[in-house]
């Protein structure tokens, strides 16, 4: 299966043009797509409902949207009616196979006095694959600093650890009016984290996710932790650029996979030709 993560910068390309069609073309063909910086009813993007528009452009995909920022954008209509709208900014998941259940996790936010700090989120989808089900996340961490990202990383690791213990969207038994005759939704142990983490491989938070570094033994991935799929696919940690115009041109977008499926990663690549955003899509191919 092919997985791709793309921070789409609300459809604004490096040329300053808003164009969701080129965003859709860049990811079409993937089996699972994680997008960040997807918005609804912003003036800058023409008051577009971008999740719905991207779903229209990618009609073969199941999808779910998870906002971090969620504000009133209602306007008065005719006959004293209200046109209900929410101005939202967040993450999108799309999958060729069903997204069996979903949760949107709001991440810790640092309240700043002058710097711009907005609510971030991690969108979780339990996705069906040919070899079973897996949890997939579309994640966007704060741009401010490692100090403000640190509690967000800890929250994500806690979500991951607690998920199989908490179980699926519902557990136990109830009448068919609640269950519609279906068994309880599953909550698999293994997961894939995709998104814009706003950190570089030399960050201590990268080590928190992918394991500590030993001068003698290299990166020490934990049995219950994650592996950078870029490295599992044969690349070096220090190579690759997903955001050419920020951080001096660095890899800040990732796909981290549960350690137990790291051996199934076949290859990873960055689509440097995609110009629909200030980021490039990062692709991972995994045998699932």
Q: What pLDDT score does 18 carry?
A: 96
With a cut of 70, which residues of the chain have pLDDT below it? 247
Q: How far apart are CA 249 and CA 279, in angstroms?
A: 10
Q: What pLDDT score does 140 carry?
A: 98
Non-local (6+) Cβ contacts of 54 within 8 A are 20, 23, 24, 35, 38, 63, 92, 94
Q: How far apart are CA 142 and CA 185, in angstroms?
A: 31
Instruction: Go through 39-70 and write b for each residue having 16 or more CB atoms within 10 A of its CB, e for each that does not.
Output: bbbbeebeebbbbebbbebbeebbbbbbbbbb
Q: In a 10 Å sphere around its CB, with 0-12 CB exposed, 13-18 middle and 19+ buried, how is residue 83 labelled?
A: exposed
SS3 state of residue 235:
coil
Q: What pLDDT score does 247 carry?
A: 64
């Amino acid at each position: 299966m092919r997985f791709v993560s793309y921070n789409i910068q609300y459809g604004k390309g490096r040329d300053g043009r808003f164009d969701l069609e080129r965003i859709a073309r860049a990811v079409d063909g993937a089996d699972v797509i994680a997008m960040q910086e997807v918005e609804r009813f912003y003036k800058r993007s023409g008051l577009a409902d971008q999740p719905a528009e991207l779903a229209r452009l990618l009609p073969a995909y199941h999808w779910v949207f998870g906002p971090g920022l969620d504000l009133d954008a209602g306007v008065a209509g005719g006959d004293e009616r209200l046109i209900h709208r929410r101005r939202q900014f967040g993450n999108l998941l799309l999958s060729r196979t069903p997204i069996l259940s979903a949760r949107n996790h709001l991440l810790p936010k640092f309240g700043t006095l002058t710097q711009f700090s907005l609510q971030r989120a991690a969108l979780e989808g339990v996705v069906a694959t040919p070899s079973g089900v897996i949890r997939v996340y579309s994640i966007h961490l704060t741009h401010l600093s490692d100090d403000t990202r640190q509690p967000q990383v800890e929250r994500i690791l806690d979500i991951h650890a607690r998920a199989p213990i908490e179980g699926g969207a519902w557990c136990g038994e109830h009448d068919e009016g609640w269950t519609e005759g279906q068994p309880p939704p599953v909550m698999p142990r293994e997961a894939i984290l995709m998104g814009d983490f706003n950190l570089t491989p030399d960050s201590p938070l990268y080590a928190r996710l992918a394991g500590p570094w030993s001068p003698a033994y290299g990166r020490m991935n934990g049995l219950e932790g994650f592996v950078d799929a870029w490295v599992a696919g044969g690349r070096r940690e220090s190579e690759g650029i997903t955001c050419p115009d920020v951080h001096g041109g660095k890899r800040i977008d990732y796909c981290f996979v549960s350690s137990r499926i790291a051996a199934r990663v076949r290859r990873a690549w960055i689509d440097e030709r995609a110009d629909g955003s200030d980021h490039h899509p990062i692709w991972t191919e995994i045998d699932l």
